[in-house]
Amino acid sequence: MQITCLLRFCRSDFTKIYSSPSHKVAGYSSPIVALRKHLDLYANVRPVKSVISDKDPSQKPVDILIVRENTECLYVKQERQLIDESTGLKVAWADRKISEYASKRCGKMAFEMALGRDKLRQSVPLEQRIWKSKPKVTIIHKSNVLSITDGLWRESVRSVKENEHKYDGVDMDEQIVDSMVYRLFREPQAFDVVVAPNLYGDIISDGAAALVGSLGVVPGANVGDNFVIGEPVHGSAPDIAGQNKANPIAAIRSAGLLLEHMGYSEQASKIYNAVDSVMRKGNILTPDLGGSSTTQQVTDAILKAL
């Protein structure tokens, strides 16, 4: 609570990675989930982009932005457990919350980011772009089964484009979540901006990291109307703590993403370009990317490129 009060006087923050227990611990609450809630950081933004290495030109071209609703779905953590009197065994269930308000504002951010990405692409020669078509937003849902909750999500996000002419130049389509997972790995180049409820967005963005080599290269940001927190997608990796093996790229890119959302696009681009140049050469990489370099060596190489 003290940290939250201090952060209200700022515009941004860069958070460390937290480890939460996988089992129930009395009195424990996830720090990052609490920050998202108290600062109303309603969208988790995760760009997944490949850098084709000079040493491995066969890598699939990927340039996807995943916008994950950050405040609702099953992550409201309203879970209960009791004993079923008929069997004497435990039964557990969880509430799933989807609101029109939260769905619309997350959808609006996705459409705004689609326009922003298209504007940035105009400065890149067409032959160098991974995404060459009109900007597109793909809505992820499972409304064929969850017709009320996912039905409301789908309907609310669709209404953003349907009711605002500024998005007429943005294409919109939909994917059932299981079909999305299949297509993501078969044809990632078919997606530009993907917007999803909390749980689906969390799973899809982690899976998408496999397309670009490692969770260790995927940045993230928790974004609200008045505040942004940079946060890498990966976890805390306690199994390699203190061994100088961790990939620093996701954290460094997250710093760039934080700057980008604060309006410092030029400074953010310098960070992205420095990281990309090191990845493209492919000779200074951490073990998760098939290299043998240390965390410090990769960081030093990026600083030199910067």
- Residues assigned a catalytic role: 75, 142, 178, 202, 206
Phi-psi region of 52 (alpha: psi -120 to 50; beta: other; left: phi over 0): beta
Q: Please work out, in degrees rounded to the nearest 5, the angle formed at the alpha carbon of residue 250 by the alpha carbons of 212 and 183.
A: 30
Tell me the helices (H) and strands (E) count for the chain, helix number first. 9, 10
168 is written with which tokens? 């007429």
Q: Is 211 helix (H, G, I), strand (E, B) or coil?
A: helix
In the structure encoding, which two tokens stand for residue 102, read together?
A: 């939260």
Q: Which residue has the tokens 């227990």?
A: 21
H-run or E-run covering 51: none
Contact by Cβ (8 Å): 291, 248: no
CA distance 217 to 210: 10
For residue 288, CA distances in Å to 54, 104, 210, 303 come to 18, 37, 11, 20
**How far does CA 74 lie from the centroid of its chain?**
17
Query: What phi-psi label fits residue 88: left (phi over 0), alpha (psi between -120 and 50 degrees) or beta?
Result: left
